[in-house]
Structure 1
């Protein structure tokens, strides 16, 4: 694979070039593909460095090589289009040649895109909180998911937050998995009411950890495991062991350090999908909450209006209207 403009500097502060990025992907290709391959994926591309213009590629662009395939997926609007899928190291390097920095894989596999095989929960620190505040929430979430029969895996987001994943049988479509995530989020909020919130509207969250349940929706993605982030520190979204959680920080894991870490410690997510669980218990919690008057939550603004959804009106604006 020829890399054009190999000396172009993408991370100015660290002097990391486009060729450095491509080399990184070769070095981490095995765990990268294990985590992100064989899934519909969106490519976050940058026309210059990470501070330049950016855009997303979902459909195969003109000139896509034969070894980069695509599968038809259905978006929230009901439209169906082919979406890129990566299967081999050359595909990742091709994406780097196309100025891709961040990879956003779906929670479902290419062969069954409508049914996720991962339950994903995004712990998003709000203003006044940071990475340290995500740790107790993540540990409690791990215990909660274990009660629901699920084995949790964790990675840094590459920024300030944490991503908690649990492998599941691909037997339910996205809306069901969303409801399972909401059930887990509400239970976590009940157990940690002063530290965790499920409020969609920022003005109601306070200095708490927001459990972003909307990341469980169709066509909603997180930065993939081992994917770089477009941040000055060149951090990557790093899978870690649970016993590392309280001793690491996001900046420990970068394009420069991750190959060495993998060589010395291996991939913490190597066996993630060996024993997937089900969301049956979480769905029973969802039904319990429905019976107790807790219904659907707000969807993102680009989604069609969904059954049972509350008004998509910011609370302060709703009060002014009233």
Structure 2
């Protein structure tokens, strides 16, 4: 047993986890990662004290938790303070309302209640447990009877599942991730230890605020974006990007109030900030710490697709480092990758039903003209693998093997747009230089494991049973079936009458140029920015651009169609010489149709990352808004062969919008 001693300052520093992939060797316990704020709970002398990670006393901010902890024993406990959303999940955005309030009023206590999740114990009645193994400490924690305390609980620790399996459960329940802890590990106060490994499903990063840029449109009176920094291994403050989304109006004004007294004349960063990111910037002293979510870390250490989460008063600026920078390691360059990297919400390439391993891809390459390929635990009989499906124009022709490999490798990016949705298939079994045809009905020879959905409203003669793609194996089966183009429904299951996307389709005519399409896409960009609506553009792989707008549950197709129609009519009035509203193609005079009629049940647009039936196998690819100004942009710029490099460099800008519960402002 560890020796008894009174606790000191060292004991009041929490042990920290290293970031990494879920461990695969035995001997680990797994806990869920909670989206809250870390706190040590000190119970001594009949009183309760809460100490933040950086040693600050935050007791006054959480009176309901102070009242919930019994004071009949001396204890030091480790845990997380959380605020729960309506679904019972920790919500850091909610907790932000409490973190900055030293003495919360009764109205705030009622509006944003908090709970305490305990996961470790450091001391009991004067006896230190720091030297005891994890299993012993967890047993002693369970023996305290915490579950009888109001607002306090001990979340489960799993020892009978692998960390990878636990991560899948976290993904299904939309939790932040997992923390794997060696069952033999002792508690090391203040140390970031490899004995604890955290794997986040959404990358969170603490950042130092270095300034802000002016706002535009409906944010003209506040700010446009924050300039962010982090320290490298030498302690230099490096510029790591801007964040301009994720703010509420209240948060924007509160940030300006906090930053205004901190103005300075020169940049606080120890390196130049790119000129296009610093136009009109107001620099500030680097003393505020915030947190963002991000999707991609570029090779030069810049955060891409960042979303603001809030200030972190419990962190010191000196603590803020980027793992890749502090370790002197940069992400792999695009040319070093043989297949698309996993999306950032699949950290470290965690194996999921959407992920095909390099070993599985290598096995595909070893097959002859036909053979059985095992992917994702499913055996698929593949045929005619050397048959040319896409003729070459600027590149070599592509075979069925190439197309199968594309859909297998891109599955982690594509399946999220197909999951829980019926899908319409555009089949070209003899290649794209032969006529294709639509197939919606699942054929009788489809494998039993392929998910199906029966349309309860289908009339005789209409499609009765649709396929639903929920895995890489399902995508591979469809590629082998000759389904080269995939069109998911705009609505999901089971609420198939409620769209989750509002779609804007900029459909060029025979006399329209891509430059004309871009004029309209930029006008939509301005309009959506003015309205404060989150959306993302996508080149179609053919001639046009589409814009996908996420919507919250409850909208009907009539609602989204009406909203897109009104928005499109307003945009069209700006350049009437480019636009037609005629339904029939032969009456459009070769002009662009802003097609709002796609917002209807079973009306579909091509899925992101789906191939298109044209030479070289162009792909429909989501892009950043600022790429509309790229002089090299073409609607068919990326192909099956060049997509991996694109994904390695930029990821998927549309992915953060999947499932975003957004209300559409009235028009």
Normalising to structure 2: TM-score of the pair? 0.40
Q: Select the residue among 412, 416, 420 that pairs with 1:34.
A: 416
Q: Select the residue among 597, 612, 628 that pairs with 1:245.
A: 628
Q: Select the residue among 510, 518, 531 that pairs with 1:127.
A: 510
Tell whether 2:600 aligns with 1:221. no
- Aligned to 2:663, the other structure's residue is in SS state coil
Task: Show the counterpart of 2:465.
Answer: 82
1:80 deviates by 7.2
Tell whether 2:406 aligns with 1:24. yes
Q: Does 48-57 or 64-73 show the bigger shift?
A: 64-73
1:15 deviates by 1.8
Tell whether 2:662 aligns with 1:277. yes
Q: Give the 3 Å change call, closer, same or farther, for CA 224–96 of structure 1 in structure 2.
A: same
Task: Show the counterpart of 1:162.
Answer: 545
Task: Show the counterpart of 2:566.
Answer: 183
Higher helix proportion (structure 1 or 2):
1
- Aligned to 2:512, the other structure's residue is in SS state coil
Give the Cα–Cα distance (whole angstroms) in 2 for the partners of residues 147 and 75 of structure 1. Answer: 39
Q: Select the residue among 484, 498, 503 that pairs with 1:115.
A: 498
Q: Give the 3 Å change call, closer, same or farther, for CA 43–185 of structure 1 in structure 2.
A: same
- Summarize deviations over 1:264-322 as a string: whole Å, max 9, x none: 321112201353322351xxx3xxxxxxxxxxxxxxxxxxxxxxxxxxxxxxxxxxxxx
Q: Select the residue among 104, 128, 138 that pairs with 2:521.
A: 138
1:219 deviates by 1.3
1:203 deviates by 4.8
1:73 deviates by 3.5
Aligned-residue Cα RMSD (Å) equals: 2.1
**Higher RCO (CA 8 Å, separation ≥ 6 residues):** 1
1:129 deviates by 1.1
- Summarize deviations over 1:122-152 as a string: whole Å, max 9, x none: 1011122122211110111122234444212
1:77 deviates by 7.0
Higher strand proportion (structure 1 or 2):
2
Give the Cα–Cα distance (whole angstroms) in 1 for the partners of residues 627 and 552 of structure 2. Answer: 27
Q: Select the residue among 241, 255, 264 that pairs with 2:649.
A: 264
Q: Give the 3 Å change call, closer, same or farther, for CA 142–67 of structure 1 in structure 2.
A: farther
Task: Show the counterpart of 2:475.
Answer: 92
The answer as to whether partners of 1:188 and 1:196 remain within 8 angstroms in 2 is: no
1:43 deviates by 0.9
- Aligned to 1:216, the other structure's residue is in SS state coil
Task: Show the counterpart of 2:60.
Answer: none
Give the Cα–Cα distance (whole angstroms) in 2 for the partners of residues 235 and 273 of structure 1. Answer: 23
Q: Give the 3 Å change call, closer, same or farther, for CA 272–186 of structure 1 in structure 2.
A: same
Normalising to structure 1: TM-score of the pair? 0.81
Give the Cα–Cα distance (whole angstroms) in 2 for the partners of residues 77 and 142 of structure 1. Answer: 40
Count of aligned pairs: 282
Larger Rg: 2
Task: Show the counterpart of 1:61.
Answer: 443
The answer as to whether partners of 1:75 and 1:218 remain within 8 angstroms in 2 is: no
Tell whether 2:353 aligns with 1:2. no
Q: Give the 3 Å change call, closer, same or farther, for CA 244–89 of structure 1 in structure 2.
A: same
Task: Show the counterpart of 1:312.
Answer: none
Q: Give the 3 Å change call, closer, same or farther, for CA 60–107 of structure 1 in structure 2.
A: same
The answer as to whether partners of 2:502 and 2:549 remain within 8 angstroms in 1 is: yes
- Structure 1 segment 291-310 matched on structure 2, within 5 A: none
Unaligned stretches of 5+ residues in structure 2 = 1-379
Unaligned stretches of 5+ residues in structure 1 = 286-322
Give the Cα–Cα distance (whole angstroms) in 2 for the partners of residues 252 and 9 of structure 1. Answer: 21
